[in-house]
Structure 1
Amino acid sequence: MENLIDLHTHSYISDGSCSPTDVIKAAKKNKLKAISLTDHDSIAGLKEAKIAAEDSNIELINGIEISALYKDGRLLHILGLGIDIHNEYFLNSYNKMKKSREKSVLEILKHIENNHGLSIDINYLHKVKYDEYLSRYDIYRYILENNICTEPQKVWDIYLDPIPYGNDELITVDEAIKMIHEAGGKSYLAHFNKRIGLEGFSFEEIEDNIKYLVSLGLDGIERYYPSYTDDDRRLLDYLVWKYQLYSSGGTDYHGANRGNIEIGFGEGDLKIPYSLIDSLKR
């Protein structure tokens, strides 16, 4: 029997619909050998996920997906896999970012009220938050759960993405890579073909950017992902070979918030081999 994994999943700690425990249960149902919980800019779900994974006999790789500031204001998502979530350097950078984001929530709520006529009580958000710190994800969840907007992506498009991030709310790409390394993990560029990635660049420009990211210490790239085309996969194979990159792979599972994506299998035909974890451990 083939051992399959999923190294890119989200719980309701960020923008998924499932608890960390239910993410693990979904992985067990689909007979996965291992997964990584990689919530956006948060490690708050990993303790619960670890308990559930041990109960389900599934290997859990500690993970995070960092929204990192790149050139010309572009955002890249950097996956950190195999991280020690107690590492002091990692936590210093992480907590600085989280505190800055929590400070901005009140201004974001004012912006939403002024521009959309939607009043959200910050005290209520504090009562129902899943993370230690408040963030845009709590606002996102409130809007969805109260049926103010029922399409997850439109919540970002209409209410949240138009509001720029403030100082210290975004970790730079080089710092994201460094904090992952300090925590004993490896860094991977996620979904290179998306807007939060290298979308819009030619193949030559993508290679130039990968070369630059490797010079910053990037270890690998997400080689398996549901939306990749044959051309994407050919380019990735070339980049992995030329720059000796580690490969990662995941479905970007969000539960019901991305209902066409099934954990471990994407839209039905994705298979991510356990050998990726073997290389991660080496």
Structure 2
Amino acid sequence: MQKIIDLHVHSYMSDGTCSPKEIIELANQKKIRAIALTDHDSIEGVAEAEKEALKYDINFLKGIEMSVSYEKERILHIIGLGMDINHSYFIEHYIKMKKARDDGAMNIIELMRKKGIDIDSNLLRNGCMTRYLDRYTIHQYLIEKELCCDAQEVWDVYLNPIPYGDDELLEVEEALDLIKKTGGLAFLAHYNKKIGLLGYSESEMEKHIETLRNIGLTGIEKYYPSYTQKDTLYAEYLSNKYDLIPSGGTDFHGKNRPNIQLGTGGNSFFVPYSIYEGIKTKLTRE
């Protein structure tokens, strides 16, 4: 029987629906042997998840999925695994970003009010799972108050069209440097998506991967539920050619993506345990 892992998981500390504790309990039920909590631009759930994973003897990696600014106004998602999230250098940059996101959330509330969607900022802040407001807090609010019933539509129609403000996004070089300097490994998530390298030819993608590798990228998601066999093989090719560490996970969001199951995604998807072993070995050597 395959030992499965999941190194791309979201809780309600960003835009998932499960608590960090519930995620680990579910991982135990599904006999997942290694997991990382990689909430969007948030480390708020890591301590809870790590504590619960220890209880069930599940291998755990501290993680985060950072939205970062790339050339020509493109946004990439960079997954950091194994960082020291209590490192002063990490905390300094993290808090700066979160404060900017809080200011940005208030701007979004005002813009949405002009479109006829009234968000009570006091209720929003009182119900916030984290210290700072952000787009994910607003996303949760719109779903919970049934102001919008489709989780993806919230992003596509209401949130994504609003540009990020100053300091809300780290530059890709800054994010890669931050992960490296605090002992972690940086992986390009779902390279085939719009929030990735979608739109480039394979040869163009390769040039971007080489550029990212040269400025500090250490890995790439080789396993992802929506990848075709061709996508996986191309990720493997990039991994081998540019000495990138492979990773993978389901991008689990709970009820917000009901067709994606923790650890197994859908159908016959799984990430081999050897992927976790490779990442853990590299982290130990760094």
For Structure 1 versus Structure 2, the TM-score category normalised by the shorter chain is over 0.9
Other structure's SS at 1:8 match: coil
- For the pair 1:221 / 2:220, whether they are aligned, the reply is yes
Partner residue in 1 for 2:6: 6
Runs of 4+ more than 2 Å apart: none
Partner residue in 1 for 2:140: 141
CA-to-aligned-CA distance 1:131-151 (integer Å, 9 cap, x gap): 121111111101000111111
Other structure's SS at 1:9 match: coil
Other structure's SS at 2:65 match: strand
Partner residue in 2 for 1:85: 85
- For the pair 1:45 / 2:45, whether they are aligned, the reply is yes
The CA distance in 2 between the partners of 1:8 and 1:184, in whole Å, is 19
Unaligned regions of 5+ residues in structure 2, if any? 282-286
**Superposed displacement of residue 82, structure 1:** 0.7
The CA distance in 2 between the partners of 1:241 and 1:143, in whole Å, is 43
Partner residue in 2 for 1:22: 22
Other structure's SS at 1:5 match: strand
What does residue range 159-170 of structure 1 map to in structure 2 within 5 Å? Answer: 159-170=158-169
**Superposed displacement of residue 268, structure 1:** 2.4
Partner residue in 2 for 1:237: 236
Report if the CA contact (8 A) 1:38-1:63 is conserved: yes
Partner residue in 2 for 1:34: 34
Q: Please, what TM-score do these two structures have when normalized by structure 2? A: 0.96
Stretch deviating more after TM superposition (74-83 or 131-140): 131-140
Partner residue in 2 for 1:109: 109
The CA distance in 2 between the partners of 1:165 and 1:172, in whole Å, is 12
Q: Report % sequence identity.
A: 48
Partner residue in 2 for 1:281: 280
Aligned length: 281
What is the Cα-based RMSD across aligned positions, in Å?
Answer: 0.9
CA-to-aligned-CA distance 1:158-182 (integer Å, 9 cap, x gap): 2111111000000011111111111
What does residue range 48-127 of structure 1 map to in structure 2 within 5 Å? Answer: 48-115=48-115, 117-127=116-126
Stretch deviating more after TM superposition (51-60 or 239-248): 51-60
The CA distance in 2 between the partners of 1:160 and 1:281, in whole Å, is 36
The CA distance in 2 between the partners of 1:128 and 1:276, in whole Å, is 37
Other structure's SS at 2:61 match: strand
Report if the CA contact (8 A) 1:33-1:58 is conserved: yes
**Superposed displacement of residue 226, structure 1:** 0.3
Report if the CA contact (8 A) 1:262-1:268 is conserved: no
The residue type paired with residue 76 of structure 2 is: L
Unaligned regions of 5+ residues in structure 1, if any? none
The residue type paired with residue 249 of structure 1 is: G
The CA distance in 1 between the partners of 2:52 and 2:158, in whole Å, is 34
